[in-house]
Amino acid sequence: MAKILHIQSSPMGERSYSSRTARFFLEAYQAAHPQDTIEELGLWKTELPVFDAVAASGKYKIMRGLPHSAEEARAWTGVIETIDQLKTADKIVVSTGMWNFSIPYRLKQYIDIIVQPGFTFTFAPDKGYSGLVTGKPLQLILASGGEYPAGTPMADFDFQKPYLEMIFRFMGFTDIRSLRVEGTLSPAAQDNLQKIKAKAVEAGQHF
Ligand SMILES: Cc1cc2nc3c(=O)[nH]c(=O)nc-3n(C[C@H](O)[C@H](O)[C@H](O)COP(=O)(O)O)c2cc1C
């Protein structure tokens, strides 16, 4: 029995294109894998730990191999819980809209919490960086108001898909898949959602 973690990053509820596409995907997944469980981490419904000066100094202590002070250990309790939730899942789904050519700040906050030395990546002078979160497929479900086709000048503006792929690769993910619903601010938005539906169902059945 596998556990899926869905990191849901749009605040738009029923109007969200990324969340609606994720629902097509996850309903198809559940129908094909009735034994599996799906846990949703709604980034706008959950108070994520604040990553402030105390948490940052705890991070630098880990990098230097030093123990945490009591205050740093307290600040890191929520960080470790958030990382554990990711690492105990078997498969990860991230759904998000594009904000200012990148990702919404709640998703960036989540990334700043989970990308940690000794937990999700490690460094050795001879080997460089290695990811510690291995063997889990990742499905990205990406919405954007505009369109950013590969090979066009607009592709240079896209820091959503390349960034997410890079940061999850950094943590050890190698099987990274993506579904994109684009042009969600255009008159073709509903058509585009219907077009992605069949692809989302197919991808969900085979995740
Ligand atoms: C704060 C904000 C910034 C946005 N910036 C961009 C952008 O840079 N490029 C773009 O194509 N769409 C942009 N959009 C439009 C969203 O990407 C689009 O509405 C998308 O459907 C959002 O995902 P959601 O429907 O899952 O919430 C922005 C929307 C918001 C609210």
**Which residue puts its alpha carbon closest to atom 1 of ligand 1?**
99
Fold category of 3-205 in CATH: Rossmann fold (3.40.50)
Cβ < 6 A, ligand 1 pocket: 10, 12, 16-19, 97-101, 143-146, 184-185
Q: Which of 25, 43, 100 to mutate to test the pocket of ligand 1 (most atoms within 8 A of CB)?
A: 100
**CA dist 126 to 59, 61, 112, 115, Å?**
22, 21, 26, 21
The type of residue at 138 is L
Task: Provide the whole-model pTM.
Answer: 0.97
Residue showing tokens 């094909």: 32
Please give the Cα distance from 58 to 113 (Å, whole number). Answer: 12
205 Cα to the center of ligand 1, angstroms: 28
Please give the Cα distance from 146 to 71 (Å, whole number). Answer: 45
- Render each residue's pLDDT in the chain as its tens digit; 207 residues: 999 999 999 999 999 999 999 999 999 999 999 999 999 999 999 999 999 999 999 999 999 999 999 999 999 999 999 999 999 999 999 999 999 999 999 999 999 999 999 999 999 999 999 999 999 999 999 999 999 999 999 999 999 999 999 999 999 999 999 999 999 999 999 999 999 999 999 999 999
Apex 152 CA angle, 149 and 158, nearest 5: 60
Nearest ligand 1 atom, CA 189: 21
Please give the Cα distance from 89 to 83 (Å, whole number). Answer: 10
**Which residue puts its alpha carbon closest to atom 8 of ligand 1?**
100
59 Cα to the center of ligand 1, angstroms: 32
Nearest ligand 1 atom, CA 15: 25
* Per-domain boundaries in the chain: 3-205
Q: Which of 44, 154, 184 to mutate to test the pocket of ligand 1 (most atoms within 8 A of CB)?
A: 184
